[in-house]
Amino acid sequence: MCTVTSAKLNFMINACIQDNNINNARKLFDENPSSRNLVSWNMMMTGYVKHHQIEYAQHLFDQMSFKDTVSWNIMLSGFHRITNSDGLYHCFLQMEELLHTRALHLALNLSVFVGSSLIRAYASLRDEEAFKRAFDDILAKDVTSWNALVSGYMEVGSMDDAQTTFDMMPERNIISWTTLVNGYIRNKRINKARSVFNKMSERNVVSWTAMISGYVQNKRFTDALKLFLLMFNSGTRPNHFTFSSVLDACAGYSSLLMGMQVHLYFIKSGIPEDVISLTSLVDMYAKCGDMDAAFCVFESIPNKNLVSWNSIFGGCARHGLATRVLEEFDRMKKAGVIPDEVTFVNVLSACVHAGLVEEGEKHFTSMLTKYGIQAEMEHYTCMVDLYGRAGRFDEALKSIRNMPFEPAWCSCDLHSNLEIGEYAAERIPKLESNRPVSYSILSKIQVEKGIWSGINELRDMMNHENDRTTVKLNRSLKTVI
């Protein structure tokens, strides 16, 4: 085999990675050991990180005889990308030990890239002292390192420190402003985020999309749609992330007409369709009541991911298409997509509406035994409802008793049963004091079954609540009685 130059090898490896052919890239890497240089190693690790194969990147990283700042940065970014806190922490310890023992600390100080990556990574671990120390260790600080510090403070909820740091910055760019906006959004300060957004002298598609997405996250759908119109009038061209957020706003606002207009604009814009934007379209049409359109878009998605399947499941469940949910669930499994807890909430809800007790039991059991998913309150509530609708109160009571947490008694209202009512009464002292709906429903069950001692006990507990809550709960009791 002819030996290729390092430059030629790196060019071919990069071409394979760009074509999403990581296996061929690795084959070239393995077959040309004498031509490999540090760039080759870093390039292969970057490829693995981009393809979510951090374990292969780690294996190469451990084999490297020399690691530069880029090598460390690749691994830190890789662990940060998959939110692997243990991996991050281990990498930090390994790097710090190496830097100190080899007296290479100055090399790190001179690297803005590694320093900024350390700040972000320590912030993800919520270690404020560590990311402040990493910032101080950067000798030649630039706007990137300052932005990382602002983002770090926002990550740990230190909004005042983030604002102070932003005000102290020797220079700011559009990323600095967008970082501050995103930080306030993450900390549920949506009005403050908009205030900062309004002060921006220039905005790009990222900053517009961040603010629109922030409104959607805070369920302020009208504000999101109004801001999108402002963006449109400003001449800023939206991208597929913008469309995804705007479609989510249309879905939340149940505005089919607006959703259809956005869909039309999306088509006219010429932006390539991807699974994110198409899934948002499925969700929008389903939540706005047009299931035919939702199915049409869903079938057009070439590579459906789990979110795509969950969107169509949720749409079917909301519109009572229980059989279709189960059919699509089987189809999803055959396609090799692994379900998650959201999937099973929709599947179990479908079983409830279709009255399929045995089918529901099978899926509930498979959650843990086949997929390793721990049942949550929503799953247990579905099972209680499933048994209750079928008149199988013993199984319903067993499900309630087997819950690893205090049950939400709202689910007992549909099919109240004497034994379940008595069990509920026994659990009253363990209820949280801020659950007025639970008190109201429990009182209804007890009145229907004549458990008057439970009513008196409930009233005694209510007297310990604050005045406002007491008034509301007493009204509920009077209505029931």
Cα 418 from Cα 420, distance rounded (Å): 5
d(CA 337, CA 333): 6
- Structure confidence at residue 457 (pLDDT): 57
Amino acid letter, residue 255? S
Which H helix or E strand runs over 446? helix 436-449
| Mean pLDDT value across the chain | 81
CATH of span 304-405: 1.25.40
Query: Residue 460: its pLDDT value, please?
Result: 59
- What distance in Å separates the CA atoms of residue 259 and residue 157, rounded to the nearest whole number? 35
Q: What amino acid is encoded at 274 in this protein? A: D
Distance, in Å, from the CA atom of 94 to the CA atom of 74, rounded to the nearest integer, reads 14
pLDDT band for 348, please (50, 70, 90 cuts): very high
How far is it, in rounded angstroms, from Cα 108 to Cα 452? 72
Query: What number is the average pLDDT over the span 165-184?
Result: 96
More confident residue, 206 or 462: 206
Per-residue pLDDT band for 55 (boundaries 50, 70, 90) equals confident
C-alpha to C-alpha distance for 193 and 166, rounded to whole angstroms:
14
Angle between helices 393-401 and 377-389 (to 10 degrees): 160
**Taking residues 22-34, what's their average pLDDT?**
90
Amino acid at 99: L
Please give the single-letter amino acid code of residue 116.
Answer: S
- The CA distance from 220 to 252, in Å, is 9
Q: In the chain, where does the domain assigned CATH 1.25.40 lie?
A: 304-405
Written as six digits, the tokens of 455 are 């009513």
Q: How far apart are CA 47 and CA 26, in angstroms?
A: 9
Bigger pLDDT: 474 or 406?
Answer: 406
Q: Is the predicted pLDDT of residue 481 greater than 80, yes or no?
A: no
pLDDT tens per residue, range 79-100: 877 767 667 667 766 665 565 4
**Cα–chain-centroid distance for residue 282?**
18
Amino acid letter, 412: C
Task: Determine the pLDDT at residue 398.
Answer: 83
Give 207's contacts (C-beta < 8 A, 6+ positions apart).
174, 177, 178, 181, 197, 200
**In 10 A of CB 249, how many CB atoms?**
27
pLDDT at residue 270, rounded to an integer: 83
pLDDT value of position 103: 34
Encoded amino acid at 119, one letter:
I
Cβ neighbors of 226 (< 8 A, separation 6 or more) are: none
User: Among 10-14, 106-110, 245-249, which stretch is predicted with the lowest mean pLDDT?
Assistant: 106-110
Taken in order 65, 68, 69, 71, the sign of the CA dihedral is negative
* Run of H or E residues at 470: helix 467-480
Kindly report the pTM of this predicted structure: 0.65
